[in-house]
Amino acid sequence: MKQYNILFLCTHNSSRSILGEALASTHTSGCFVGYSAGSAPGKSINPIAEELALEMGYPKTKMYSKSWDEFAKPDAPQMDFIITVCDSAASEACPVWIGHPASAHWGFPDPSRVEGSYADKRKAFVNVMNGLKQRLDAFASLPLEKLDQSIIENELRKLASI
């Protein structure tokens, strides 16, 4: 079975995009290899995002904030799909990606901005995680190897509304 590289982008690469990377890499279909990056990467991963990713079985050693410039280099893994998960990253001028991968915006509110108890904050992260998982599940169910780039991109964009 072919594996597809999928890059999740967010501004700071500390929460939503990290969850996307972990979810894609641990997806039960085995068809994705997840990556994440940010336009202005932070210094650390949000502890709740890290906790959830570890619960998925994603290794801590792979979780760190990195610039999206790393994935525009000639020796970077070639992406099949690019997903922005925050509105600010979606509106920024992205690098030119090698291979011109299909892209879409799956926006989610920033869970790291939620105030209140630990339970309130964790719930916000779980909501983002569940939304990403639902979209990845639907995407993985498509016959990707049989679809052309424009149809895949259209399907990716449709998933933003579920």
The pLDDT tens digits for 7-40 are 999 989 999 999 999 999 999 999 999 999 998 9
Give the phi and the psi of residue 85 in degrees, each rounded to 5.
-120, 0
How far apart, in Å, are the Cα atoms of 129 and each of 2, 4, 87, 122, 124? 24, 20, 17, 10, 9
The 10s digit of each residue's pLDDT in 93-145 is 667 677 889 999 999 999 999 999 999 999 999 999 999 999 999 999 999 99
φ/ψ of residue 42, rounded to 5: -80, -175
Instruction: Work out the number of other CB atoms within 10 angstroms of the CB of residue 101.
Output: 21
List alpha helices for 81-148, DSSP H: 87-91, 118-140
Which pair of structure tokens corresponds to residue 155? Answer: 């399907």
In whole angstroms, give the CA distance from residue 141 to residue 8.
19
Model pTM?
0.94
Binning the chain into helix, strand and coil, the percentages to the nearest 5 are 45, 15, 40
Report the C-alpha gap between 4 and 11 in whole angstroms.
23
> CA-CA distance, 21 to 66, in Å (whole number)?
12
**pLDDT tens, 65-78?**
999 999 988 899 99
Calculated CA dihedral for residues 160, 3, 130, 107, nearest 10 degrees: -30
Domains of the chain: 4-149 (3.40.50.2300)
Largest CA distance in the chain: 47
Q: What is the DSSP letter of 104?
A: E
